[in-house]
């Protein structure tokens, strides 16, 4: 099976405090630690496991600037066979729809059976996979937490729906799936693994390679425009307990007892 996994380099929310910059035009990007989007990492692991079971190849692709190459190499160190870097000045500031259009152009150059994305990324939109499927006119399933590859041109997928339940469906290939965290346990990638793929050639494709018109992409083509970033004032917030750890704990125990939290 030929599998393409779409990945994104994002600020790592587990490693950073995300703050708004001074004029509210962006988040504060100085000293941010970046990594591969967590959901995408599960998607790559799933693709590798499918390939190891039924054969084929895994390609990882990203739309991003020069620094995005590092996540392609990381996922190739995990075991992806190929990487493709979609990069062009015209792509900068693209919204989810433009990203999907760029990916579609790349997908149509190949012959993929299965395209995976993460269920969501840093902006929480969860939109690229579904848009991509609609543009390709392929079937789609979101928040997938199980994939069973059977014979023929169908696979069985489970979607994680509310209440921890799982919705099972059969979906025809080729298709697009967005992958939920927890579907597998992504393997560890060490420095040695990354070194091994450090010199592997990663082709870079831009607007002319993909036959795209630049003016529909980037910030100018976006239908949904972000005006600013801010931190909302939500009610009063918590009463913060301060003082020495001992004082805090005494106060907390008193509160817990009063609220029935200690039996």
Which residues between 105 and 164 bind another protein (CB under 8 A)? 119, 122-131, 133-135, 138-143, 156, 158-164
Interface of this chain with another protein, residues 21 to 80, rule: CB under 8 A: 27
221 is a contact residue toward another protein (CB under 8 A) = no
Spatial distance between the Cα atoms of 218 and 222, rounded to a whole number of angstroms: 7
Shortest Å distance, C-beta 233 to another protein: 9
| Residue 224 engages another protein in binding (rule: CB under 8 A) | yes
Residue 130: name the closest of 148, 116, 109 by CA.
Answer: 116
Q: Which is nearer to another protein, 55 or 237 (CB)?
A: 237
The count of other CB atoms within 10 Å of the CB of residue 228 is: 9
Residues 230 and 20: beta-carbon distance below 8 Å: yes
Based on the shown chain and the rule CB under 8 A, indicate whether residue 220 belongs to the binding site for another protein.
Answer: no
The binder of another protein chosen from 20, 105, 149, 202 (CB under 8 A): 20
Q: Does 213 sit near another protein (CB under 8 A)?
A: no
* Distance separating alpha carbons of residues 4 and 111, to the nearest angstrom: 10
Identity of the residue, 191 or 224, whose beta carbon is nearer to another protein in the bound complex: 224
What is the torsion angle, in degrees rounded to the nearest 10, for the CA atoms of residue 191, residue 196, residue 199 and residue 205?
-80
How many residues line the site for another protein (CB under 8 A)? 81
Tokens of 99: 């990203």
Three-state SS at 167: strand
Q: How far is the CB of 196 from another protein (least distance, A)?
A: 26
**By the rule CB under 8 A, 18 interacts with another protein:** yes
């Amino acid at each position: 099976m030929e599998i393409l996994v779409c990945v994104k380099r994002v600020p790592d929310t587990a490693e950073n405090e995300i703050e708004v910059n001074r004029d509210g035009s962006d988040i504060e990007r100085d000293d941010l630690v970046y990594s591969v989007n967590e959901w995408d990492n599960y998607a790559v692991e799933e693709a590798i496991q499918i390939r190891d079971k039924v054969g084929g190849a895994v390609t990882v692709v990203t739309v991003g600037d020069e620094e995005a190459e590092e996540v392609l190499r990381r996922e190739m160190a995990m075991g992806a066979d190929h990487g493709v870097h979609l990069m062009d000045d015209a792509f900068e500031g693209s919204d989810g729809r433009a990203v999907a259009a760029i990916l579609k152009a790349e997908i149509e150059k190949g012959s993929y059976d299965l395209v995976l994305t993460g269920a969501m990324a840093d902006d929480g939109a969860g939109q690229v996979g579904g848009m991509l499927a609609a543009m390709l006119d392929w079937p789609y399933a979101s928040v997938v937490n199980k994939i069973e590859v059977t014979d023929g041109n169908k696979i069985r997928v489970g979607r994680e729906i509310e209440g921890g339940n799982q919705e099972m469906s059969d979906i025809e290939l080729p298709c697009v799936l967005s992958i939920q965290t927890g579907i597998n346990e992504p393997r560890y990638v060490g420095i040695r693994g990354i070194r091994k793929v450090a010199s592997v050639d990663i082709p870079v494709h831009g607007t002319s390679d993909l036959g795209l018109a630049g003016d529909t992409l980037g910030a100018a083509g976006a239908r949904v425009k972000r005006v600013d970033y801010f931190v909302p004032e939500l009610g009063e917030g918590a009463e913060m307990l301060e003082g020495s750890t001992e004082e805090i704990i005494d106060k907390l125990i008193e509160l817990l007892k009063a609220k029935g939290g200690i039996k």
